[in-house]
Chain A
Amino acid sequence: MSFQITDIPRILPELMLLLLGLLVLGSDVLTRWGRGPEAQLERAKEAGQLTAVGLGLVFIVGLVQSRFLFIVPDPSGGPLDVLLTLGRNLQAGGPGGSPILGAFATDEFTMVARLTFIGAAFLTSLLAMGYRLTANPGEFYGLLIFSTLGMSIMAAATEFILAYLALELSSISLYVLAGYFRESERSPEAGLKYFLFGSLSSAIFLYGISLIYGFVASENQKAGGTPIVATLFAEVGRFATGDAASSPLLILGMLFIIAGLGYKISVVPFHTWAPDVYQGAPPPVTAFLSTASKAAGFLLLYRLLTTAFPGAVGTPRLEEFNGWTSVLAILALVTVIVGNLAALPQTNARRLLAYSSIGHAGFLLLAVLIWSSTSPVDRTFGTAALIYYLIVYTLTNLGSFGVLAVLTNALGSDDLSAMQGLWRRNMPLTLMMTILVLSLAGIPPLAGFWAKFFVFMAGYQAGAVPLVTIAVIMTVVSLYYYLRFLKAMWILPAPEDTPFKTPPVANAAIIASTALVVLLGLLPNLIWGTISSAASVAAR
């Protein structure tokens, strides 16, 4: 196993992200900007545009490379040969092949994840451009890109050290971004809180890794001591079978790892940072934080558990502990209950959505439980449900936090009461927010409904019927607070009714996510096939 030159195209999107980040940072720092507010505005605009265009480009490259849309034909002597050759070479690095150095998988799963993160970052950059951001824009956008890079690597990692580094790369960038508004009261608090919780969790994660490493190394000694890389997921999976799978060392390490990642995906009881950070961070950052970051955590957790601990799956039963699905079942149970109930009394829209997103993490865990079934068909279905949910959730929450960002910008507040009578002031925005909120609530025919239905199916098939029942009941509870948005926007009288405009770039991002939510709701098979193929790879 060594690094081949042909492996470079396989990590091309990541390399491009790295270059783009440096470029954005560099072009901002190295240009001499004027002092006036106009020059600062110009500076922010330039950095934002560069980021958006760059991310769009990386997205296209990733999309072509993934072969999801089309397979480039062989060059046939026509005028387009240059393009075709380029495409062929790009797709040569497409899904497939064994992980690079055993540590970096470039399968369909990675491709889907990569596209999700880059797409989310692209939309976030649009939202950020519509928001008043002037101080150090290069840093802001650069960190956004680095964080995206970290997430892409997280989803691709099949080795503990790489996974840890990727986790840190994405998290540390986000700590800074969360505390980016230094002059505001809440933003630095959010950054600090996020940092403290995050660093504690990553310490726990790291400790879990070291225990696992110790387990694998000592098992390998017993087995004869051939030299291996003991931090590869696959090696852990090789040793953690049979009786060894119930070794206390392994179980403890696994629990630490779940706890460490639990903070990233904000499941109860590792969620306490989320409401404060979501409320305090700059709104576009919140949009990114609550979607891509969480999705990355889920995908890493999923790949890690399924490849490193297939021997300790267990069953998702609440009454006895026998593997990681039972741990996740308990986490899912408390998460759906606490997340949804705690959202009920909230009066701040962003805080409310923060609790709702905690609730969503609980629903998402249902999809992972199906791994307790040994049938590959079931496992594929569960994985597909997870990915579908993550994509839809990312789109929906990006859109709704985007709307809140616009509102904060225009009205100076993101309390629910500030949204009263919004239909009179900005009808298109109200309409889009309605669609997004209903999708979050899981109302058909929007995409959020399919997502929820799929995870319920997965949970049922995993045998966790009581858990699914509770989750279904919690969707009704959640409807109450989602309807409060509708009530504020449509029914309650407006405190004032001066219309306001949505910034065009932010509008584009919100329209795009709303349109996709509707489209994926009407035609779920647009991406279901692709996702299923990615899922069947991951479920193998």
Chain B
Amino acid sequence: MNLIDLPANVPWLSLIWLSLVIPTVIIALMKPERKEEIRIIGAVFSFISLALTLLVYLAYDYRSPEKFQFLEEIPWLPELGINYILGVDGISLPMLLLNGIVIFTGALISWNIEDRAREYWALLLLLAAGVYGVFVSLDLFLLFIFYELAVLPMYLLIGIWGSTRKEYGAMKLTLYLMGGSAFIILGMVAVYFSGTLRTFDMRLLAQSALFPRDVQIIFFVPLFLGFAVLAGMFPFHTWSPTGHVAAPTAVSMLHAGVLMKLGAYGCMRVAMWIFPEGANYWLLPIAIATLINAVYGATIAMTQRDFKFMIGYSSVSHMGLTLMGLAAANTIGMTGAVLQMFAHGVMTALFFAVVGRMVYDRTHTRQFPELGGLFSVMPFAAIVFIIAGLSSMGMPGLAGFWAEFNIFMGMWQRFPLIAVLAGVSIPITAGYILIAVYRVFFGEMKNPEFRHLPGLTVQEYVAGVILVAVLIISGIYPAYLTEPIEASVQPIAEALARAGTLGMRFP
């Protein structure tokens, strides 16, 4: 935006991720009984991190030819080309902002955690710090380290504070994601030794013609798949609904809202950026997988009886659309993908906040047949849920519309048939969202005790308002997102285009 100028000698990006590591340490050293102070510290620091990302966002100049700004470089293990390099561009900035929004609202939503609150908050903030780290890293090795840091706390967060087969869900999720990172390790080693540079600096690795074509084609697969597992790509998506359902609310928010985006981000920033020829070769299979993702995910969501499972599968479906934008491999499709990451992140955080905290923590059930008529009890929850639902259907005026529009346009240019088929997911999405709205908030109230549910807390109101506001603002004025995104996506799309049309085609 370049609306403000920030002093250049401050390590802004390090501050962003450190602003969540510092409270982790503070909280870990506090007495477990001082729960209220712990919550306040957590919320204040996550707000600070949000404010910092906002500052950086406003100060980033997307018109400048230097795509990566706020660079920080410190040698770490320079003998092996491993360095601490931070920087942001138009792709990582919206993601940073998203993470700031979700961790702050997630912190507000976590106010009712009483059991082992100290450990909960420490792990939650550590998780979000890892996510920040991934989005600001320009060194592949550093990115991977932050990536694992973001994944591992999930195991304990779900295992301890979760519900519904939590141990199974936690173990499944962790093993899937670590399986993904095993692929990434393999890809990283190949990246290191196949080029001639012996470095992990992605800016250097992304130079064209660094890797021979066959290396690109072979090792694109582990690198892309490793991240795609986290993005929930078919057929590696089954961990995601199970994990979401088992996780406590704020963790579901962070997980579906940001962590899965981390996978899609890695697919683009690492796999497609470093191996454009490899990406081009595999576009068709990826596009088909994402088509299945989008349509099949939506269909399964329609059949769920558990409210949270429905949201979980809707995430799978929407992440399918995100990956489809990437598979379009052109500027418009990839812009749509990044926008979808942002829009879906905010929207799904809102979904989980409503389902997990506002509804489930009060009614203690998530089964559709047992719910109903909640509009009269909690109108606020109903309204924000409906707004999020409209965004998820792609209603113009909300963030989701612009994202899906761009994705379908991009895919139309690449594989028109797939774009048409994927269009089926839109009415299905509308179907399950409307059904859910009807069954939960309208319809007949099955359980008379629901009339006496406690009202929403201030924190819940604030979180809901923030998320809805972001959805509406991004819907009305999407340019504040699309312009930096487009400027930064363009070089990647151009590299993909340069790599030629040698890939697989329809027979």
- CB contacts (< 8 Å) of A438 on chain B: these are 152
Q: Which secondary structure dominates chain B's binding surface?
A: helix
The verdict on A479 contacting B178 (CB below 8 Å), with A457-B189, A472-B186 known, is yes
Q: How many angstroms between the C-alpha atoms of A475 and B159 in the bound complex?
A: 21
Beyond A468-B189, A532-B79, 14 additional contacts (C-beta under 8 Å) are A438-B152, A444-B148, A444-B149, A445-B149, A456-B185, A457-B192, A469-B186, A472-B182, A473-B182, A476-B182, A486-B155, A486-B159, A524-B77, A525-B78
The verdict on A472 contacting B77 (CB below 8 Å), with A444-B149, A445-B149, A490-B156 known, is no
Chain A stretch 481-502: residues in CB contact (< 8 A) with chain B: 483, 486-487, 490-491
For residue B32, which residue of chain A has the nearest CB? A427
Chain A stretch 522-540: residues in CB contact (< 8 A) with chain B: 524-525, 528-529, 532
Instruction: Output the least CB separation between A230 and chain B (Å).
Output: 40
> Do A480 and B171 touch (CB < 8 A)?
yes
> Do B145 and A444 touch (CB < 8 A)?
yes
19 A-B residue pairs with Cβ-Cβ distance under 8 Å, sorted by A, are: A423-B119, A443-B152, A444-B145, A457-B192, A460-B190, A472-B183, A473-B179, A475-B178, A479-B174, A479-B178, A483-B174, A486-B159, A487-B167, A490-B159, A525-B76, A525-B77, A525-B79, A528-B77, A528-B79
- CB contact between A483 and one of B77, B155, B185, B192 (< 8 Å): that residue: B155
Chain B stretch 128-146: residues in CB contact (< 8 A) with chain A: 144-145
**Residue with the greatest number of chain A CB neighbours at <10 A, chosen from B76, B159, B178, B183:** B178
Q: How many angstroms between the C-alpha atoms of A479 and B193 in the bound complex?
A: 26
B 72-83 binary contact with A (CB < 8 Å = 1; else 0): 000011110000
Instruction: Output the least CB separation between A143 and chain B (Å).
Output: 39
> Do A491 and B159 touch (CB < 8 A)?
yes
> Do A443 and B77 touch (CB < 8 A)?
no
- CB contact between A479 and one of B78, B156, B159, B175 (< 8 Å): that residue: B175
Q: How many angstroms between the C-alpha atoms of A423 and B123 in the bound complex?
A: 15
Interface flag for B445 (CB, 8 Å): no
Q: How many angstroms between the C-alpha atoms of A529 and B174 in the bound complex?
A: 34
> Do B174 and A460 touch (CB < 8 A)?
no
A-B pairs with the 6 shortest C-beta distances?
A: A444-B145, A491-B159, A472-B182, A460-B189, A476-B179, A476-B182
> Do A480 and B175 touch (CB < 8 A)?
yes
Interface flag for A461 (CB, 8 Å): yes
- CB contacts (< 8 Å) of A529 on chain B: these are 79
Q: How many angstroms between the C-alpha atoms of A476 and B156 in the bound complex?
A: 17
Interface flag for B160 (CB, 8 Å): yes
Interface flag for A453 (CB, 8 Å): yes
**Residue with the greatest number of chain B CB neighbours at <10 A, chosen from A449, A460, A479:** A479
Instruction: Output the least CB separation between A496 and chain B (Å).
Output: 18
- CB contacts (< 8 Å) of B178 on chain A: these are 475-476, 479
> Do B160 and A490 touch (CB < 8 A)?
yes
Instruction: Output the least CB separation between A424 and chain B (Å).
Output: 9
Q: How many angstroms between the C-alpha atoms of A475 and B186 in the bound complex?
A: 12
A 60-75 binary contact with B (CB < 8 Å = 1; else 0): 0000000000000000
B residues with a Cβ closer than 8 A to A are 76-79, 119, 144-145, 148-149, 152, 155-156, 159-160, 167, 170-171, 174-175, 178-179, 182-183, 185-186, 189-190, 192-193
> Do A491 and B189 touch (CB < 8 A)?
no
> Do B144 and A456 touch (CB < 8 A)?
no
- CB contacts (< 8 Å) of B182 on chain A: these are 472-473, 475-476
Q: How many angstroms between the C-alpha atoms of A473 and B160 in the bound complex?
A: 27
Instruction: Output the least CB separation between A75 and chain B (Å).
Output: 35
- CB contacts (< 8 Å) of A449 on chain B: these are 145, 148
Q: How many angstroms between the C-alpha atoms of A486 and B79 in the bound complex?
A: 35
- CB contacts (< 8 Å) of B152 on chain A: these are 438, 443
For residue A444, which residue of chain B has the nearest CB? B145
- CB contacts (< 8 Å) of A486 on chain B: these are 155-156, 159
Instruction: Output the least CB separation between B174 and chain A (Å).
Output: 6
A residues with a Cβ closer than 8 A to B are 423, 438, 443-445, 449, 453, 456-457, 460-461, 468-469, 472-473, 475-476, 479-480, 483, 486-487, 490-491, 524-525, 528-529, 532
Instruction: Output the least CB separation between A44 and chain B (Å).
Output: 36
Q: How many angstroms between the C-alpha atoms of A314 and B182 in the bound complex?
A: 28
Instruction: Output the least CB separation between A337 and chain B (Å).
Output: 15
- CB contacts (< 8 Å) of B190 on chain A: these are 460
For residue B78, which residue of chain A has the nearest CB? A525
- CB contact between A491 and one of B145, B160, B185 (< 8 Å): that residue: B160
- CB contacts (< 8 Å) of B159 on chain A: these are 486-487, 490-491
Q: How many angstroms between the C-alpha atoms of A483 and B189 in the bound complex?
A: 25
- CB contacts (< 8 Å) of B145 on chain A: these are 444-445, 449
Q: How many angstroms between the C-alpha atoms of A479 and B170 in the bound complex?
A: 13
Q: How many angstroms between the C-alpha atoms of A461 and B79 in the bound complex?
A: 16
Instruction: Output the least CB separation between A416 and chain B (Å).
Output: 14
The verdict on A443 contacting B76 (CB below 8 Å), with A460-B193, A472-B182, A480-B175 known, is no
- CB contacts (< 8 Å) of B77 on chain A: these are 524-525, 528
**Residue with the greatest number of chain B CB neighbours at <10 A, chosen from A438, A449, A491:** A491
Q: How many angstroms between the C-alpha atoms of A486 and B159 in the bound complex?
A: 10
- CB contacts (< 8 Å) of B160 on chain A: these are 490-491
Q: How many angstroms between the C-alpha atoms of A344 and B470 in the bound complex?
A: 47
> Do B193 and A457 touch (CB < 8 A)?
yes
For residue A521, which residue of chain B has the nearest CB? B145
Instruction: Output the least CB separation between B108 and chain A (Å).
Output: 25
Instruction: Output the least CB separation between A38 and chain B (Å).
Output: 38
- CB contacts (< 8 Å) of B149 on chain A: these are 444-445
Q: How many angstroms between the C-alpha atoms of A486 and B185 in the bound complex?
A: 23
- CB contacts (< 8 Å) of A475 on chain B: these are 178, 182
- CB contacts (< 8 Å) of B119 on chain A: these are 423
Instruction: Output the least CB separation between A340 and chain B (Å).
Output: 13
- CB contacts (< 8 Å) of A528 on chain B: these are 77, 79
For residue B218, which residue of chain A has the nearest CB? A465
> Do B156 and A491 touch (CB < 8 A)?
yes
- CB contacts (< 8 Å) of B76 on chain A: these are 524-525
- CB contacts (< 8 Å) of B148 on chain A: these are 443-444, 449
> Do B144 and A483 touch (CB < 8 A)?
no
- CB contacts (< 8 Å) of B186 on chain A: these are 456, 468-469, 472
For residue A431, which residue of chain B has the nearest CB? B28
> Do B155 and A444 touch (CB < 8 A)?
no
Q: How many angstroms between the C-alpha atoms of A438 and B145 in the bound complex?
A: 13
For residue A450, which residue of chain B has the nearest CB? B77
> Do B189 and A456 touch (CB < 8 A)?
yes
Q: How many angstroms between the C-alpha atoms of A261 and B418 in the bound complex?
A: 59
Instruction: Output the least CB separation between B259 and chain A (Å).
Output: 16
Q: How many angstroms between the C-alpha atoms of A468 and B145 in the bound complex?
A: 20
- CB contacts (< 8 Å) of A472 on chain B: these are 182-183, 185-186
- CB contacts (< 8 Å) of A460 on chain B: these are 189-190, 193
Instruction: Output the least CB separation between A52 and chain B (Å).
Output: 30
Q: How many angstroms between the C-alpha atoms of A529 and B78 in the bound complex?
A: 11
Instruction: Output the least CB separation between B92 and chain A (Å).
Output: 20
Instruction: Output the least CB separation between A401 and chain B (Å).
Output: 23
- CB contacts (< 8 Å) of A480 on chain B: these are 171, 175
For residue A454, which residue of chain B has the nearest CB? B80
- CB contacts (< 8 Å) of A445 on chain B: these are 145, 149
For residue A457, which residue of chain B has the nearest CB? B189
Instruction: Output the least CB separation between B176 and chain A (Å).
Output: 9
Instruction: Output the least CB separation between B29 and chain A (Å).
Output: 12
**Residue with the greatest number of chain A CB neighbours at <10 A, chosen from B77, B179, B189:** B189
Instruction: Output the least CB separation between B150 and chain A (Å).
Output: 11
Instruction: Output the least CB separation between A269 and chain B (Å).
Output: 26
Instruction: Output the least CB separation between A210 and chain B (Å).
Output: 41
> Do A444 and B175 touch (CB < 8 A)?
no
Q: How many angstroms between the C-alpha atoms of A45 and B280 in the bound complex?
A: 69
Q: How many angstroms between the C-alpha atoms of A437 and B145 in the bound complex?
A: 17
> Do A476 and B192 touch (CB < 8 A)?
no
- CB contacts (< 8 Å) of B170 on chain A: these are 491
Q: How many angstroms between the C-alpha atoms of A472 and B223 in the bound complex?
A: 13
Q: How many angstroms between the C-alpha atoms of A445 and B185 in the bound complex?
A: 14
- CB contacts (< 8 Å) of B79 on chain A: these are 525, 528-529, 532
- CB contacts (< 8 Å) of A444 on chain B: these are 144-145, 148-149
